[in-house]
Amino acid sequence: MPRTVRDVVFVDGVRTPFGKAGPKGIYHETRADDLVVKAIRELLRRNPDLDPAKIDEVAIAATTQIGDQGLTIGRTAGILAGLPQSVPGYSIDRMCAGAMTAVTTTAGSIAFGAYDIVVAGGVEHMGRHPMGEGVDPNPRFVSEKLVDESALFMGMTAENLHDRFPHITKQRADEYAVRSQEKAAKAYANGKIQQDLVPISVRRTSPEGGETGWGLATEDEPMRPGTTLESLAGLKTPFRPHGRVTAGNAAGLNDGATASLIASEEFAREAGLPVRMRLVSYAYVGVEPEVMGFGPIPSTEKALAKAGLSIDDIGLFEINEAFAVQVLAFLDHYGIADDDPRVNQYGGAIAYGHPLASSGVRLMTQLARQFEEQPQVRYGITTMCVGFGMGATVVWENPHFDGGNK
């Protein structure tokens, strides 16, 4: 019996405030799975017309799937969040693009007709589980020169990208980073970010290790408003002597979780749920692992080709700022100015942070807000580079499009 592919939509998305990883971070005493639970519960609270028993799947990504990020976290977080035990769940790992893969994988199942609505998201508690904890890379990678040794260290791959594109200077990367901080501060001042944040109760400890009581995390901890070029110029280049990648022009090590509701458009409208974005196409592409940051360029080319669109059709870009050089390489390839107003209008990961597997849905929630504000924009993309040499891109259509230009 022939099947009809169904339209898939982004219904809603939320996230925790992002924290700094480590003993001084807001989530040092908070479990990773509890962050996911709070995000799922907030989705249900915000969408009271959704019967939780109708959720067909909970797909949650984590890069380091051990400890409180292990145990098939999609299933366990669903139970902890109070979903009926009939709702299944599973976990996903595509490093930085984990949450994005949770969305696109379940979207494919929705389009096929296996699911009507799902929860998709991701978590990374890099304070409890540093990147690479417990892994054992096969020695053949290096001994047989399958990859350059630098491919195992994301900061080194960013330096390699600077080598490949020497016109992307450290100063240019720093200038981009300052703009990201400025845009994020403006987005906060205008109330664009807080409406999709889930406040988290956190237990605070003193530097000596003693408990100082409970607090409420309500905003992103990594942000550095007031960052200047002068303050960035003197930062250390930890990945290479006299290098170009610093803590100021890259995302930090962070903790946080995201969750979204993805559904068939037919189900969403029948259930009275919002339709905030319509999925058009998506693509994942592999590139040389030692220049991981190049990944969004071919993945965007592939996703646009599948959609029958060109880069000129895209009116809004949400590009994950793992490193400034990676965004700048993308913009140069497509002939887009560093300060193009279509790009990361609310700022990006350099300001907010990048808790690896959770970031894809942050890009989506920010794009969805921009679509609502800008009905003249028809298409937007969310894109990111991915560890070990990949790129990921999703093309979205604005359901509020009013027929304006693009």
* CA–CA gap between residue 76 and residue 91 (Å, rounded): 10
Catalytic residue among 96, 125, 129, 162: 96
**Sign, CA torsion 217/220/222/224:** negative
Alpha helices in 324-382 (DSSP H): 324-333, 349-352, 359-373
Following CA atoms 379, 406, 346, 178 in sequence, which dihedral angle do they give, to the nearest 10 degrees?
110
Most distant pair of Cα atoms in the chain: their distance: 66
Collect contacts of 104-111 with beta carbons under 8 A, ≥24 apart.
104/279, 104/282, 104/394, 105/59, 106/57, 106/59, 106/262, 107/8, 107/262, 107/279, 107/282, 109/57, 110/6, 110/8, 110/262, 110/263, 110/264, 111/5, 111/6, 111/7, 111/8, 111/264
Q: Does the active-site annotation cover 333?
A: no
Catalytic residue among 129, 167, 354, 400: 354
The closest of 61, 22, 55, 16 to 34, measured between CA atoms, is: 16
User: In whole angstroms, how far apart are CA 219 and each of 26, 195, 196, 293?
Assistant: 10, 11, 11, 28
Q: In this structure, are residues 283 and 299 in contact, taking their beta carbons and an 8 Å threshold?
A: yes
What 3-state class would DSSP assign to 163?
helix
Q: Does the active-site annotation cover 385?
A: yes
DSSP element (H, E) containing 269:
helix 265-270
What 3-state class would DSSP assign to 52?
helix
Catalytic residue among 28, 129, 162, 385: 385
A 10 A CB-CB count for 323 gives: 31
User: In whole angstroms, how far apart are CA 211 and each of 30, 70, 143, 163?
Assistant: 13, 27, 48, 46
User: Catalytic amino acids?
Assistant: 96, 354, 385
